[in-house]
Protein backbone atom coordinates (compact mmCIF):
# COMPACT_ATOMS: atom_id res chain seq x y z
CA UNK A 1 0.00 0.00 0.00
CA UNK A 2 1.43 3.41 -0.89
CA UNK A 3 0.41 6.46 1.18
CA UNK A 4 0.36 10.01 -0.13
CA UNK A 5 -0.01 13.05 2.07
CA UNK A 6 -2.70 15.34 0.71
CA UNK A 7 -0.72 18.39 1.79
CA UNK A 8 2.55 17.77 0.03
CA UNK A 9 1.93 14.78 -2.25
CA UNK A 10 5.20 13.36 -1.07
CA UNK A 11 5.38 9.60 -0.71
CA UNK A 12 5.49 8.33 2.85
CA UNK A 13 9.00 6.93 2.50
CA UNK A 14 10.28 10.34 1.37
CA UNK A 15 8.63 11.98 4.37
CA UNK A 16 10.21 9.38 6.67
CA UNK A 17 13.66 9.93 5.19
CA UNK A 18 13.26 13.71 5.42
CA UNK A 19 12.16 13.49 9.06
CA UNK A 20 15.15 11.29 9.89
CA UNK A 21 17.49 13.74 8.17
CA UNK A 22 15.88 16.68 9.98
CA UNK A 23 16.49 14.86 13.28
CA UNK A 24 20.20 15.28 12.57
CA UNK A 25 19.83 18.83 13.95
CA UNK A 26 19.24 17.38 17.43
CA UNK A 27 21.73 18.08 20.23
CA UNK A 28 23.92 15.23 21.46
CA UNK A 29 26.57 14.83 24.12
CA UNK A 30 29.94 15.98 22.66
CA UNK A 31 28.11 16.14 19.30
CA UNK A 32 28.50 12.38 18.93
CA UNK A 33 25.23 12.10 16.92
CA UNK A 34 24.87 8.52 18.15
CA UNK A 35 21.78 7.73 16.07
CA UNK A 36 21.07 5.83 12.89
CA UNK A 37 17.73 5.68 11.09
CA UNK A 38 16.33 2.96 8.87
CA UNK A 39 13.50 3.82 6.51
CA UNK A 40 11.15 0.91 5.85
CA UNK A 41 8.16 0.91 3.47
CA UNK A 42 5.75 1.75 6.31
CA UNK A 43 7.92 2.41 9.34
CA UNK A 44 10.97 4.27 10.60
CA UNK A 45 13.46 2.73 13.03
CA UNK A 46 15.91 4.51 15.34
CA UNK A 47 19.01 2.71 16.60
CA UNK A 48 21.74 3.94 18.90
CA UNK A 49 25.33 3.58 17.73
CA UNK A 50 27.29 1.82 20.46
CA UNK A 51 30.58 2.94 18.89
CA UNK A 52 29.58 6.53 19.56
CA UNK A 53 28.91 5.90 23.25
CA UNK A 54 31.35 7.72 25.54
CA UNK A 55 32.63 4.67 27.38
CA UNK A 56 34.50 6.67 30.04
CA UNK A 57 32.08 9.57 30.47
CA UNK A 58 28.85 7.62 30.00
CA UNK A 59 29.56 3.95 30.80
CA UNK A 60 25.91 3.11 31.49
CA UNK A 61 24.80 4.57 28.17
CA UNK A 62 22.46 7.12 29.71
CA UNK A 63 23.59 10.21 27.82
CA UNK A 64 23.79 8.34 24.52
CA UNK A 65 20.17 7.26 25.05
CA UNK A 66 19.15 10.77 26.05
CA UNK A 67 20.77 12.17 22.91
CA UNK A 68 18.87 9.66 20.76
CA UNK A 69 15.66 10.69 22.55
CA UNK A 70 16.26 14.26 21.41
CA UNK A 71 16.63 13.02 17.83
CA UNK A 72 13.44 10.95 18.19
CA UNK A 73 11.47 14.03 19.24
CA UNK A 74 12.93 16.01 16.34
CA UNK A 75 11.84 13.28 13.89
CA UNK A 76 8.34 13.08 15.39
CA UNK A 77 7.90 16.83 15.00
CA UNK A 78 9.30 16.86 11.48
CA UNK A 79 6.78 14.17 10.53
CA UNK A 80 3.95 16.15 12.13
CA UNK A 81 5.04 19.23 10.20
CA UNK A 82 4.86 17.20 7.01
CA UNK A 83 1.34 16.06 7.86
CA UNK A 84 1.88 12.60 9.33
CA UNK A 85 1.05 11.07 12.68
CA UNK A 86 2.80 7.94 13.90
CA UNK A 87 2.54 5.45 16.71
CA UNK A 88 5.87 5.40 18.56
CA UNK A 89 7.02 2.08 20.03
CA UNK A 90 9.89 2.81 22.37
CA UNK A 91 12.41 0.00 23.03
CA UNK A 92 10.16 -2.42 21.13
CA UNK A 93 12.49 -5.45 21.17
CA UNK A 94 14.13 -6.65 24.42
CA UNK A 95 16.53 -8.76 22.33
CA UNK A 96 17.78 -5.70 20.50
CA UNK A 97 18.44 -2.94 23.08
CA UNK A 98 20.03 -0.68 20.42
CA UNK A 99 16.65 -0.46 18.69
CA UNK A 100 15.34 2.54 20.60
CA UNK A 101 12.17 3.27 18.67
CA UNK A 102 10.01 2.15 15.82
CA UNK A 103 7.48 4.54 14.32
CA UNK A 104 4.57 2.72 12.71
CA UNK A 105 0.92 3.14 11.79
CA UNK A 106 1.67 6.30 9.82
CA UNK A 107 -1.43 8.22 8.87
CA UNK A 108 -1.77 11.39 6.84
CA UNK A 109 -3.33 14.33 8.66
CA UNK A 110 -3.26 17.98 7.76
CA UNK A 111 0.11 19.67 8.03
CA UNK A 112 0.57 21.04 11.52
CA UNK A 113 1.52 24.77 11.32
CA UNK A 114 2.68 24.79 14.93
CA UNK A 115 5.00 21.85 14.25
CA UNK A 116 6.19 23.64 11.09
CA UNK A 117 7.23 26.67 13.16
CA UNK A 118 8.99 24.41 15.65
CA UNK A 119 10.82 22.64 12.82
CA UNK A 120 12.23 26.03 11.83
CA UNK A 121 13.53 26.33 15.41
CA UNK A 122 15.42 23.03 14.96
CA UNK A 123 17.52 24.68 12.29
CA UNK A 124 18.18 27.76 14.42
CA UNK A 125 18.80 26.12 17.83
CA UNK A 126 22.37 25.79 18.98
CA UNK A 127 24.41 25.54 22.15
CA UNK A 128 25.73 28.99 22.99
CA UNK A 129 28.32 28.70 25.78
CA UNK A 130 28.93 32.44 26.16
CA UNK A 131 27.68 34.23 29.29
CA UNK A 132 24.08 35.33 28.87
CA UNK A 133 22.89 38.96 28.97
CA UNK A 134 21.79 40.80 32.13
CA UNK A 135 18.14 40.32 31.20
CA UNK A 136 16.53 37.53 33.24
CA UNK A 137 14.32 34.99 31.52
CA UNK A 138 10.66 35.92 31.98
CA UNK A 139 8.74 33.68 34.39
CA UNK A 140 6.19 32.91 31.66
CA UNK A 141 9.00 31.70 29.37
CA UNK A 142 10.42 29.48 32.12
CA UNK A 143 6.93 28.07 32.71
CA UNK A 144 6.43 27.39 28.98
CA UNK A 145 9.81 25.62 28.71
CA UNK A 146 9.05 23.52 31.80
CA UNK A 147 5.61 22.54 30.56
CA UNK A 148 7.10 21.43 27.22
CA UNK A 149 9.28 19.00 29.20
CA UNK A 150 6.29 17.76 31.21
CA UNK A 151 4.38 17.04 28.01
CA UNK A 152 7.17 14.60 27.07
CA UNK A 153 7.21 12.77 30.39
CA UNK A 154 9.99 14.54 32.33
CA UNK A 155 10.01 17.55 34.65
CA UNK A 156 12.13 20.68 34.71
CA UNK A 157 12.73 22.09 38.18
CA UNK A 158 13.95 25.69 38.09
CA UNK A 159 16.32 26.08 41.04
CA UNK A 160 16.14 28.81 43.66
CA UNK A 161 19.24 30.77 44.70
CA UNK A 162 20.36 28.40 47.44
CA UNK A 163 19.91 25.40 45.17
CA UNK A 164 21.96 27.14 42.44
CA UNK A 165 24.79 27.63 44.92
CA UNK A 166 24.67 23.93 45.85
CA UNK A 167 24.65 23.09 42.15
CA UNK A 168 27.64 25.38 41.55
CA UNK A 169 29.64 23.60 44.26
CA UNK A 170 28.67 20.19 42.88
CA UNK A 171 29.52 21.19 39.29
CA UNK A 172 32.88 22.53 40.40
CA UNK A 173 33.62 19.27 42.22
CA UNK A 174 32.52 17.21 39.19
CA UNK A 175 34.86 19.28 36.97
CA UNK A 176 37.79 18.54 39.31
CA UNK A 177 37.01 14.81 39.38
CA UNK A 178 36.73 14.68 35.59
CA UNK A 179 39.92 16.72 35.04
CA UNK A 180 41.86 14.21 37.14
CA UNK A 181 40.62 11.18 35.18
CA UNK A 182 43.00 10.38 32.29
CA UNK A 183 40.40 8.30 30.40
CA UNK A 184 37.87 11.11 30.52
CA UNK A 185 40.51 13.61 29.40
CA UNK A 186 41.44 11.33 26.51
CA UNK A 187 37.81 10.96 25.47
CA UNK A 188 37.29 14.72 25.56
CA UNK A 189 40.49 15.29 23.56
CA UNK A 190 39.22 12.84 20.92
CA UNK A 191 35.81 14.52 20.55
CA UNK A 192 37.32 18.03 20.46
CA UNK A 193 39.74 17.21 17.65
CA UNK A 194 37.51 15.35 15.19
CA UNK A 195 36.93 16.16 11.56
CA UNK A 196 34.19 14.68 9.38
CA UNK A 197 31.04 16.02 10.98
CA UNK A 198 31.05 14.87 14.61
CA UNK A 199 32.60 16.35 17.75
CA UNK A 200 33.16 19.92 18.84
CA UNK A 201 35.01 22.38 16.64
CA UNK A 202 37.10 25.27 18.08
CA UNK A 203 34.56 27.82 16.78
CA UNK A 204 31.89 26.67 19.26
CA UNK A 205 34.17 26.44 22.30
CA UNK A 206 34.93 29.55 24.39
CA UNK A 207 38.36 31.13 23.95
CA UNK A 208 38.51 31.40 27.76
CA UNK A 209 36.34 30.11 30.61
CA UNK A 210 33.24 32.34 30.70
CA UNK A 211 32.22 34.01 33.98
CA UNK A 212 29.34 31.85 35.11
CA UNK A 213 27.67 31.11 38.45
CA UNK A 214 27.77 27.39 37.73
CA UNK A 215 30.98 26.34 35.97
CA UNK A 216 30.49 25.04 32.45
CA UNK A 217 32.38 22.05 31.13
CA UNK A 218 36.14 22.47 30.88
CA UNK A 219 36.78 21.13 27.38
CA UNK A 220 40.49 20.87 28.10
CA UNK A 221 41.46 23.25 25.32
CA UNK A 222 40.57 26.82 24.45
CA UNK A 223 38.36 27.39 21.43
CA UNK A 224 38.01 30.52 19.34
CA UNK A 225 34.53 31.66 20.43
CA UNK A 226 34.86 35.19 21.89
CA UNK A 227 33.12 35.32 25.26
CA UNK A 228 33.40 39.00 26.27
CA UNK A 229 33.51 40.31 29.83
CA UNK A 230 29.90 39.49 30.85
CA UNK A 231 28.81 37.32 33.77
CA UNK A 232 25.70 35.19 33.60
CA UNK A 233 24.25 36.44 36.90
CA UNK A 234 20.83 36.71 35.29
CA UNK A 235 20.80 33.08 34.13
CA UNK A 236 18.36 30.54 35.54
CA UNK A 237 19.39 26.98 36.20
CA UNK A 238 17.11 23.98 36.06
CA UNK A 239 17.32 20.23 36.46
CA UNK A 240 15.57 17.94 34.02
CA UNK A 241 14.40 15.00 36.09
CA UNK A 242 11.87 12.21 36.34
CA UNK A 243 10.70 9.27 38.42
CA UNK A 244 12.72 6.47 36.85
CA UNK A 245 16.32 5.58 36.08
CA UNK A 246 15.73 3.18 33.17
CA UNK A 247 16.68 3.23 29.47
CA UNK A 248 13.09 4.24 28.68
CA UNK A 249 13.19 7.16 31.10
CA UNK A 250 16.51 8.40 29.63
CA UNK A 251 15.01 8.17 26.14
CA UNK A 252 11.96 10.15 27.28
CA UNK A 253 14.31 12.65 28.97
CA UNK A 254 15.88 13.27 25.56
CA UNK A 255 12.48 13.85 24.01
CA UNK A 256 11.72 16.27 26.85
CA UNK A 257 15.06 18.04 26.34
CA UNK A 258 14.26 18.53 22.67
CA UNK A 259 10.74 19.78 23.37
CA UNK A 260 11.95 22.19 26.07
CA UNK A 261 14.87 23.50 23.99
CA UNK A 262 12.76 24.09 20.88
CA UNK A 263 10.18 26.05 22.89
CA UNK A 264 13.04 27.99 24.50
CA UNK A 265 14.46 28.78 21.04
CA UNK A 266 11.07 30.01 19.90
CA UNK A 267 10.87 32.30 22.94
CA UNK A 268 14.41 33.66 22.47
CA UNK A 269 15.77 31.75 25.47
CA UNK A 270 19.26 30.30 25.12
CA UNK A 271 19.93 26.92 26.75
CA UNK A 272 23.12 25.06 27.61
CA UNK A 273 23.03 21.49 28.95
CA UNK A 274 25.55 20.73 31.69
CA UNK A 275 25.98 17.01 32.13
CA UNK A 276 29.24 16.83 34.13
CA UNK A 277 27.44 16.93 37.44
CA UNK A 278 25.28 13.96 36.34
CA UNK A 279 28.25 12.01 34.93
CA UNK A 280 30.05 11.86 38.29
CA UNK A 281 28.30 9.48 40.69
CA UNK A 282 28.93 11.52 43.84
CA UNK A 283 27.67 14.80 42.40
CA UNK A 284 24.64 13.10 40.84
CA UNK A 285 23.79 12.04 44.37
CA UNK A 286 24.14 15.68 45.54
CA UNK A 287 21.79 16.68 42.74
CA UNK A 288 19.24 14.18 44.03
CA UNK A 289 19.46 15.90 47.42
CA UNK A 290 19.10 19.31 45.76
CA UNK A 291 15.91 18.00 44.19
CA UNK A 292 14.81 16.99 47.71
CA UNK A 293 13.58 13.58 46.73
CA UNK A 294 11.66 14.83 43.71
CA UNK A 295 13.28 12.28 41.42
CA UNK A 296 16.16 11.15 39.26
CA UNK A 297 18.27 13.93 37.72
CA UNK A 298 18.96 13.58 33.98
CA UNK A 299 20.55 16.85 32.95
CA UNK A 300 21.29 20.33 34.29
CA UNK A 301 20.23 23.19 32.03
CA UNK A 302 21.31 26.81 32.03
CA UNK A 303 18.68 29.15 30.64
CA UNK A 304 19.25 32.78 29.74
CA UNK A 305 18.71 35.54 27.23
CA UNK A 306 21.63 35.64 24.83
CA UNK A 307 23.41 38.97 24.50
CA UNK A 308 21.70 40.51 21.44
CA UNK A 309 24.70 42.76 20.73
CA UNK A 310 26.89 39.86 19.65
CA UNK A 311 26.39 37.16 17.05
CA UNK A 312 26.21 33.68 18.55
CA UNK A 313 28.51 30.80 17.73
CA UNK A 314 28.27 29.03 14.38
CA UNK A 315 26.45 25.73 14.08
CA UNK A 316 28.33 22.64 15.20
CA UNK A 317 28.95 20.38 12.20
CA UNK A 318 26.77 17.38 11.42
CA UNK A 319 27.33 14.03 9.74
CA UNK A 320 26.27 13.78 6.10
CA UNK A 321 22.74 12.51 5.73
CA UNK A 322 23.70 9.26 3.96
CA UNK A 323 25.72 8.23 7.03
CA UNK A 324 22.73 8.47 9.36
CA UNK A 325 19.71 7.61 7.23
CA UNK A 326 19.58 4.17 5.62
CA UNK A 327 17.04 4.09 2.80
CA UNK A 328 18.31 0.88 1.19
CA UNK A 329 15.09 -0.98 2.06
CA UNK A 330 12.98 1.48 0.07
CA UNK A 331 15.32 2.76 -2.65
CA UNK A 332 13.50 2.52 -5.95
CA UNK A 333 10.13 1.99 -4.20
CA UNK A 334 9.29 5.60 -3.34
Ligand X SMILES: Cc1cc2nc3c(=O)[nH]c(=O)nc-3n(C[C@H](O)[C@H](O)[C@H](O)COP(=O)(O)O)c2cc1C
User: Does residue 300 sit in helix, strand or coil?
Assistant: strand
Residue 200 binding ligand X, by CB under 6 A: yes
Which parts of 5-34 interact with ligand X (CB under 6 A)?
A: 27-31
Residue 65 binding ligand X, by CB under 6 A: no
Shortest separation between residue 83's beta carbon and ligand X, angstroms: 26
DSSP at 38: E
Alpha helix stretches (DSSP H) within the chain: 12-22, 62-82, 113-124, 139-151, 161-179, 182-191, 247-266, 276-279, 281-290, 321-324
154 or 200, CB closer to ligand X? 200
Describe the crossing of helices 113-124 and 62-82 by its angle, rounded to 10 degrees: 130
Residue 297 binding ligand X, by CB under 6 A: no
Shortest separation between residue 289's beta carbon and ligand X, angstroms: 20
Shortest separation between residue 326's beta carbon and ligand X, angstroms: 22
Which of 275, 283, 296, 327 binds ligand X (CB under 6 A)? It is 275
Find the helix or strand (DSSP H, E) in which 150 lies. helix 139-151
Find the helix or strand (DSSP H, E) in which 85 lies. strand 84-90
Stretch that binds ligand X, among 7-15, 16-24, 180-188, 268-276 (CB under 6 A): 268-276
Shortest separation between residue 308's beta carbon and ligand X, angstroms: 18
CA 37 to chain centroid:
17
Residue 142 binding ligand X, by CB under 6 A: no
φ, ψ of residue 139 in degrees (nearest 5)? -55, -40
Chain residues that interact with ligand X, rule: CB under 6 A:
27-31, 63, 66-67, 70, 126-127, 129, 200, 216-217, 272-276, 299, 316
Amino acid sequence: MSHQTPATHRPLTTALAEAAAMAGHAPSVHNTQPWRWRVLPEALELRMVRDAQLTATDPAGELVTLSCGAALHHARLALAAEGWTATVHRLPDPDEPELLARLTDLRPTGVDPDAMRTVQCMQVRRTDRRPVSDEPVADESLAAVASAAVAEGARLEILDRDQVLQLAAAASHAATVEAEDPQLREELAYWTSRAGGTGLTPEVLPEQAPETTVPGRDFGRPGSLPVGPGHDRAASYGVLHGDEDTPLSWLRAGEALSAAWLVATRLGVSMVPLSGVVEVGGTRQILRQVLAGLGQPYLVLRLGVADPAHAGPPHTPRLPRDQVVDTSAVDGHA
